[in-house]
Chains A and B, each alone.
Chain A
Amino acid sequence: MGRWTAALGVLLLTAAGCRQDMHDAPRYDPLEASDLFTNGSSVRPLVPGTVPRGQLNDDAFLHTGKGPDGLPVTAFPFAITHVELDRGQDRYNVYCAPCHGRTGEGNGMVVQRGYRQAQSMHIDRLKLAPVGYFYDVITNGFGVMPDYRTQIPVEDRWKIVAYVRALQLSRTATTADMPADALARLLKGEPAAKAPVEIHR
């Protein structure tokens, strides 16, 4: 009998070794809860005035879209090519189209479910508005429109602005504005622009 008790004891001891420590290591995963702080979050807000290395954001043109005179700038802080435009289109469709619609008319799905409708991007006032104005609206919001500063990085905001400009131009463009090869494709009945096979990242 003693032998069986001993065997059972060894078995129990072995089983007690089967702990799941490695499954849940004593560290915080991103966004994991903690009861150390009153709001239950394990991450702490930055102390006001903290500047992460390399993020001083001292380029006012790039980060505020305003000139030294405090007025919205009329030029982009970096060159806009097809790569930037494609990226802008991609981001516009993710972050703006739910309300402003894919074409900028202001009739996105969320508006159809009861959100306030914004002005169309194609009204004269907005066609004449400087690019810095659009950048400022994305960064700080406008009226009831929320700001998008935490969801969209600075460079992407400018690329979205570039795409909004392209949307506005597309309304009044004529065949005379088209490059010869695109026009040739259009006359043959093919799509004028090659579909972006790749979204540049």
Chain B
Amino acid sequence: MSQIFPKSANAAVRSSLFAVLTLVLFLGWVGFTLMRSSWLTKQSEYVEQPIQFSHAHHVGGIGLDCRYCHTSVEKSSFAGIPPTKTCINCHSQIWATAPILEPVRASFRDDTPMKWKRVTDLPDFVYFNHQIHVKQGVGCATCHGPVDKMPLITQATSMQMEWCLACHREPEKFLRPRAEVFNMAYEAPANQIELGLRLKKEYNVAGIEHMTSCSVCHR
């Protein structure tokens, strides 16, 4: 009986095994990279808004504090988006007839809210709370990036679970004094870990078991 496979088929089998392994690893790598890509996390993506509101002009330029507009950020889970009245405080006089601000004036006149689109949006099965982070010394810039330099706001971080956990495991790498939370120009000192550990004790920040337990964020 003649052999069905020539001897060289052995090499083909071996190399095809190798090819399958490489393919699996490659697909794994593609998936892994895709999961973290800004295409899926929407990191650094602009969102079309009804009017081009610039944090760079209002925060970086005229030096407004976040709380002038995001009034509930210190006392509620939701940071709050300012009502049209807050814009009109100033724009009743500044650029009061500029065409670019017509949507704001129309919204105020007709008592219809501005339709801002969300930039950062966690899935609904995740619980997030601003108050606790602000109170325990996590700066806005740590999560939202240099907002004072953004002409249009984008999501500065991946906002994925592994990103939340990286800080919940070692908050000392990021904590700053409470008085600096809203300061966009704050720079971490050289002895950040030392400062972080001291603040962690002073502010009574919860331990790692609590901070990484699933039910803290999935409740």
Contact = CB atoms under 8 A, between A and B. Distances in A.
A39 to B, nearest CB: 5
B115 A198 contact: no
Please classify the interface of chain A as helix (H, G, I), strand (E, B), loop, or mixed, using the class held by over half of its residues: loop
Interface in B72-121: 74, 78, 80-81, 83, 85-86, 88-90, 92-94, 111-113, 115
A25 B124 CA distance: 6
B113 A41 contact: yes
A94 B124 contact: no
B177 A98 contact: no
Nearest to B79: A30
Nearest to A90: B179
A40 B50 CA distance: 14
B164 to A, nearest CB: 16
B179 A27 contact: no
A108 to B, nearest CB: 9
Contact of A29 (B63, B74, B124): B124
A151 interface: yes
A22 B123 CA distance: 7
B64 interface: yes
Nearest to B179: A199
Interface string A159-196: 00000000000000000000000000000000000001
Contact of A39 (B65, B86, B93, B112): B112
A115 B92 CA distance: 9
A24 B83 CA distance: 24
Given A22-B124, A196-B179, A198-B178, A110 B62 contact: yes
Contacts of A56: none
Contacts of B157: none
A201 B62 contact: no
A198 B125 CA distance: 35
Interface string B31-64: 0000000000000000000000000000001111
Given A98-B62, A110-B62, A31 B94 contact: no
Nearest to B135: A201
A98 B123 contact: no
Contact of A110 (B90, B124, B179): B90
B23 to A, nearest CB: 19
A42 B62 CA distance: 33
A144 B92 contact: yes
21 contacts: A24-B124, A30-B78, A30-B80, A39-B112, A39-B113, A41-B113, A93-B65, A94-B65, A98-B63, A109-B61, A109-B63, A110-B62, A110-B94, A113-B94, A144-B93, A146-B85, A151-B68, A151-B71, A196-B179, A199-B178, A199-B179
Interface of B: 61-65, 67-68, 71, 74, 78, 80-81, 83, 85-86, 88-90, 92-94, 111-113, 115, 123-125, 135, 177-179
Interface of A: 22-25, 27, 29-31, 33, 39-41, 93-95, 98, 109-110, 113-116, 144, 146, 150-151, 196-199, 201
